[in-house]
A and B are shown apart, each in its own frame.
Chain A
Amino acid sequence: MDMDFALHLVRWLHVISGVMWIGLLWYLNFVQVPTMPKIPDEMKPAIGKHIAPAVLFWFRWSAAATVFFGLLLAWMSGYLGSALAIGTNGGGMAMSLLGIAMWFGLIMAFNVWFVIWPNQKIALGIVDAPAEKKPGSARRAMLFSRTNTLLSIPMLYGMVAFQNPPF
């Protein structure tokens, strides 16, 4: 396969998996969480038992796919090391922006797999846990999800700015 075409394909896979990840993150934070208090109690199990588990399945696997294709893309392009060093060894401002954005993305993916998902499993009753642990787990998952929403803003800026620098 031609290298340019391979890069083109991997970038497309990185972008579509990233759109799914951040789309679901923003759905959770901008739609589901703020709307839950307004939903009648008898309808809440539809979210907790059916919609949220499906969202979280696609959420965590799209996060993994985004990171995998992103790192592969940077490695194939020859700037993985420079980006992870946030441009301290050359590459200019665009490389620094990409590197910071990459680290934000890696932190976000870590949060998804090792903080949000384990706590959501407890909060949604997917794993057995004492009832008194559920509110704390739900709050921890929500706050880390909000942290990811916060980080997604500069992360997306850095990714776009690498292709189209501001200065």
Chain B
Amino acid sequence: MYRVCSTQRICYSPIRVITEGETMKNPLESLPTTVVLGVVLTVIMVIVAQGIAA
């Protein structure tokens, strides 16, 4: 983790750099993320169905 710290109290870390040998976490490993992605896919499905029907 690379951090930019202006003081000892305030630290800002906008990005987390993946270091060598470390793999990116699969979003499906998180159950809440899985449910959110399912809801997002539902919205996309409705938009696609509207487009097909139009």
Contact = CB atoms under 8 A, between A and B. Distances in A.
A93 B28 contact: no
A147 interface: yes
Given A97-B46, A166-B46, A151 B41 contact: yes
Q: Is the interface of B mostly helix, strand, loop or mixed?
A: helix
Interface string B15-52: 00000000000101101001101110110011011101
Interface residues of A, number: 27
B49 A157 contact: no
A101 B38 CA distance: 12
B49 A93 contact: yes
Contacts, number: 66
Contacts of B41: 150-151, 153-154
A157 B34 contact: no
A150 B36 CA distance: 8
Contact of A96 (B31, B42, B52): B52
Contacts of B48: 96, 100
Contacts of A158: 45, 49
A146 to B, nearest CB: 4
A26 B37 CA distance: 15
A154 B42 contact: yes
Interface in A118-144: 143
A148 to B, nearest CB: 10
Contacts of B35: 149-150, 153
A30 B31 contact: yes
Contact of A34 (B31, B39, B45, B52): B31
Q: Which 4 A-B pairs have the closest CB atoms?
A: A153-B38, A96-B49, A93-B53, A146-B28
19 contacts: A29-B31, A87-B49, A96-B48, A96-B49, A96-B52, A97-B45, A100-B48, A101-B45, A143-B29, A149-B35, A150-B35, A152-B38, A153-B38, A153-B41, A154-B38, A157-B42, A158-B45, A158-B49, A166-B46
Given A150-B35, A153-B41, 17 more contacts: A30-B31, A86-B49, A93-B49, A93-B53, A95-B53, A96-B48, A101-B45, A143-B28, A146-B28, A147-B28, A149-B31, A150-B28, A150-B34, A152-B38, A154-B42, A157-B45, A161-B46
